[in-house]
Amino acid sequence: MKQNNRAVIDTPQVERRQARLDLVIPFTTPELTMAAINAAGRLGEGLGAGIRLLKIQVVPWPLDLSQSPVPKEFLTAQLQRLASPLPMKREIRFAREFEPGLRGALNEHSLVILATHKRPWRTRTEHLAAQLRRDGYNVVIVPDIASPNYKLPSRDREGVVAQRINHA
């Protein structure tokens, strides 16, 4: 017996049309997700793109997939607070593990947009992006501009970007 392991939040009729470019944003934190939504808005502007905002809710093994440890109403409210300049469909998927839950939501033409804090080491998000690329998916990583450790590169008179290494 197959269980329903996803919930699609109703969206206005305008947002239900099929987009030519499928931009998929997995929900991570509100700040990083908003950075990814902003990047998707800039990337998909004028291309007929649509955003699918995915919340992958991990359900531990002792529980049935329909028994999320986090109330569905809370997850729905969490996604409804985020707005986009592009049409956006919000989905909640229940899975045993994050990565397989995300892969189950992707199709071969999806473009996954992930935001991450700039760190000297590879973050969990960067590891996820590398794994998705190895599996044949298209992935874009955007830095969280609001991160206090991230500074835009400076340019000299000829327009060459000067690299700065911050050793804190």
Flag whether 158 is in a domain: no
Flag whether 159 is in a domain: no
Flag whether 102 is in a domain: yes
Q: Could you give the angle at which helices 98-105 and 124-134 cross, rounded to 10 degrees?
A: 50
Q: pLDDT at residue 168 above 50? A: no
The Cα 40–Cα 45 span in angstroms is: 8
Flag whether 153 is in a domain: no
pLDDT digits (tens, 9 = 90+) for 92-126: 999 999 999 999 999 989 999 999 998 899 999 99
pTM: 0.75
Backbone φ/ψ region at 97: left (φ over 0), alpha (ψ -120 to 50), beta:
beta
CATH number assigned to the domain comprising residue 120: 3.40.50.620
Number of domains forming the structure of the chain: 1
Q: Which of 20-29, 95-104, 107-116, 155-164 has the lowest mean pLDDT?
A: 155-164
Supply the range of the domain harboring residue 56: 6-10+17-147
